[in-house]
Structure formats: C-alpha cells, structure tokens
C-alpha cells in the first residue's frame, strides 16, 4: 500500500507541475478544483483523497486477499501509466 500512496502522490506532484507549465490538466472532476488552491492546501486535499481511496482496499483485504492483490496490482499499473503520460506531456511541453 505504501507503493500505491507514493504513486498517487507522484501523480499529484506531476499534475501540479504540468498545470503550472500549462501542459497538463486534471482529468478527475472530483479534485480538479483543488489545483486552484495554494500548493499545500491542494496537497492536503490529495492526501485525504488518497486515504479515502485506501478505505475500500482495507475492506477488500479483509474480505478476499486474492482479489485484493489483483485490484492492488491493477491500481499500481494504472497509476504507473498515468505517471508516464504526465512525464511525457511535461517533457513534450518543455521541448
């Protein structure tokens, strides 16, 4: 779960940088508004959002660890892909 936390916060940081550079926009309508706030407030909101996302994982872990591992792996892959896309956009935007 620590890896998922790191991936999700990395996504936030890259999104924040990309928005500041004008090459990325937040696609999640539930938190897009948070990027209009000062950095530390936006980071705090993202951390709360990440903790909220962890709640179903904790429930799933108690219910069925096999499914939990598969869902967690899917979350790792999805977050990694999003991070790679953000890096590409940022580097392309800087070029």
Residue 74: predicted pLDDT: 97
Residue 93: predicted pLDDT: 85
16 in Cβ contact with 42 (< 8 Å): yes
The whole-angstrom separation of Cα 53 and Cα 76 is 13
pTM beyond cutoff 0.75:
yes
Question: Which among 47, 71, 45, 48 has a CA at the least distance from the CA of 58?
Answer: 71
Q: In the chain, how many domains are there? A: 1
17-55, pLDDT tens digit by residue? 999 999 988 888 888 999 999 999 999 999 999 999 999
pLDDT-derived band at 94 (thresholds 50, 70, 90) equals confident
Report residue 91 as tokens: 């580097």
- Which of the two residues, 1 and 81, has the higher pLDDT score? 81
Question: Which among 47, 48, 64 has a CA at the least distance from the CA of 9?
Answer: 47
Domain hosting residue 29, numbered range: 2-94
Report residue 8 as tokens: 């999700």
State yes or no: pLDDT of 95 exceeds 80: no
24 Ramachandran zone, left/alpha/beta (phi>0; psi -120 to 50): beta
* Mean per-residue pLDDT over the chain, rounded: 93
Report residue 50 as tokens: 């990440």
Overall residue count recorded for the chain in this entry: 95
């Amino acid at each position: 779960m620590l890896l998922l936390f790191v991936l999700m916060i990395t996504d936030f940081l890259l999104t924040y940088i990309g928005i500041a550079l004008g090459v990325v926009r937040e696609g999640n309508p539930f938190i897009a508004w948070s990027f209009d706030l000062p950095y530390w407030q936006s980071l705090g909101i993202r951390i709360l959002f990440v903790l909220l996302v962890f709640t179903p994982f904790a429930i799933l872990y108690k219910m069925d660890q096999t499914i939990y591992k598969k869902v967690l792996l899917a979350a790792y892959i999805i977050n990694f892909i999003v991070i790679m896309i953000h890096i590409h956009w940022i580097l392309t935007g800087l070029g």
